[in-house]
Amino acid sequence: MIVLGIETSCDETGVALYDHEKGLLADTLYSQVAMHSEYGGVVPELASRDHIRKLLPLVTETLKLAKLTAADIDAVAYTAGPGLVGALMVGAATGRSMAMGWGVPAIGVHHMEGHLLAPMLEDNPPAFPFVALLVSGGHTQLVKVEGIGQYQLLGESLDDAAGEAFDKAAKMLGLDYPGGPLIAKLAEKGDRTRLRFPRPMTDRPGLDFSFSGLKTFTMNTIRDLKVDGLLSEADKADIAAAFEEATVDTLAIKCRRALQQTGLKQLIIAGGVSANQRLRDGLEKMVKKEKSQLFYARQEFCTDNGAMIAYAGCQRLLAGQSSGLAIEAKPRWAMDLLESCR
């Protein structure tokens, strides 16, 4: 089965072709980051319009890269949610229409399930069951995964997601959008021992997260270190380093608790923040102590992409699932409500 995957949940247009026997055949991606950085964040209306302009040319390009035609496509998978409703509608309407025109089934895919399954695209994928840390601009969740569609939410952020906190801290430091990669780059120049930021909610039991207090602590530190209203470059780097260390430590502490509570020995990290090298290094050290294993996707599949949607959609289609003729776009969609692929 060859599945065309379409991702348009936010500010990246992704298209991919996945063959359940041969694996990933081709993938293309267009990022809107340059456009949105001018405004300091994603502008939903601009995102939707850009998806309209880029999606069909990317489909054509992806088919060309794979040396396939529309006649070779057996099914279409598109991101149905969660995400920006206008952006979701572009991918859903286009994907559903192409499937109808080609006479093949279509399926709406949960965006975070796509991220969760992205490490399965690697040569050494994890085996079920495992614990998953989903960490991005919109989500920070710990999930026990027994199989595709068999998800138990263990903990989640009660306010800002980790990626959102990175972006807001970056804005306080005068950095561009998106802030996560820029904070990480600036942190490399900082002294990681000079400042110590709090590790929120690690002094109490449970697996929930909260990053709003860390954001406030960052703001107050910036205020206290300013001289004549200005912050030195050295101070900026030290703050970035302290913020990154606190975030990484918090995530690692919660992941260790999740492994201990579930008794599982495999941890996967997925989502945009999983590309952070400091986080990967910190979790590698933690799982080594726990005699466990860490899995993650290659860098280009950490952020939004069509490959993860094609793969997730393919697994559900192989299990006999598909969506009806209605165009699905769900800006809010709980992952633990998904149908199992048993």
Binding residues: 111, 115, 134-138, 167, 180, 276, 304
Crossing angle (nearest 10°) for helices 277-289 and 233-262:
40
| Residue among 92, 25, 8 nearest 16 (CA) | 25
Count of Cβ atoms closer than 10 Å to residue 2 Cβ: 19
| CA dihedral sign of residues 125, 8, 51, 157 | negative
Binding residue positions for Fe cation: 111, 115, 304
Separation between Cα atoms, residue 112 and residue 247, nearest integer Å: 21
Separation between Cα atoms, residue 207 and residue 202, nearest integer Å: 9
What are the tokens at 135?
A: 């960490």
| Residue among 208, 210, 82 nearest 154 (CA) | 208
Separation between Cα atoms, residue 273 and residue 246, nearest integer Å: 14
CB 31 within 8 A of CB 10: no
What are the tokens at 119?
A: 């490490």
Separation between Cα atoms, residue 76 and residue 109, nearest integer Å: 10
CB 304 within 8 A of CB 10: yes
Which pairing describes strands 266-270 and 130-135: parallel, antiparallel, or unpaired? parallel
Separation between Cα atoms, residue 83 and residue 10, nearest integer Å: 6
Binding residue positions for substrate: 134-138, 167, 180, 276
